[in-house]
A and B are shown apart, each in its own frame.
Chain A
């Protein structure tokens, strides 16, 4: 199982799922209509490191963070 957490204003509790790659995570998150409006503008971190490849392999215990648009300062 991996854990997916939703940061900042998304306002959704973390979920756990079976996923071998980030592409699997994408498929499962897109089943949630409330998330689809966020996904096209969200970045992704794997265990707190930013990632850019859908084929990134996942292992048991990994933590995927979904980061919506930012505005510090």
Chain B
């Protein structure tokens, strides 16, 4: 798992991951790129991350992938990420395509639901929590 301040250098990250696994005999490599869209007059999105829980969440996915003979990778931005740049990339390597295609779907969806990352719209230099696009994590409401 890789965390960076500001936008991701997607080509460097994907190229390096590909090089790292060049001789691992994986038949499939499926990358996913999340790019900030220009909408609602935002200048950027901004992110807070709670790394200790994110790392445990990611470790759990690495174990799940390993059970399938696969590898999951991810990188995410901290702080401001301007429109038309990327804040999130992930990828799955697996021996055959079916596992990678299914795993990237499950991994990205669970990431959206349970990775401890908070998103803010940046408008006129002000950070506004994206409450209406955010999802309560599993187990929410315990203390209510």
Whether A70 contacts B117 in the complex (CB less than 8 A), given A40-B140, A41-B141, comes out as: yes
**Secondary structure at chain B's binding surface: helix, strand, loop or mixed?**
mixed
Chain A residues contacting B140 (CB-CB under 8 Å) are 40-43, 69
Interface string of A30-73 (1 = CB under 8 A from B): 10000010011111110011111010000000000111111111
Chain A residues contacting B34 (CB-CB under 8 Å) are 73
Q: How far is the CB of B128 from chain A (nearest CB, A)?
A: 9
Total inter-chain residue pairs, C-beta < 8 Å? 116
Docked CA distance A50–B143 (Å): 13
Chain B interface, number of residues (Cβ within 8 angstroms):
36
Docked CA distance A51–B140 (Å): 10
Which residue of the partner chain, among A9, A36, A45, contacts B53 with CB atoms under 8 Å?
A45
Q: Is B88 an interface residue (CB 8 A)?
A: yes
Chain A residues contacting B118 (CB-CB under 8 Å) are 7-9, 68, 70-71
**Secondary structure at chain A's binding surface: helix, strand, loop or mixed?**
mixed
Spell out B's residues near A (CB within 8 Å). Answer: 34, 47-48, 50, 52-53, 56, 76, 87-88, 108, 111-120, 129-131, 133-144
A-B contact pairs, 6 of them (CB 8 A): A26-B144, A43-B137, A43-B138, A49-B56, A69-B136, A71-B112
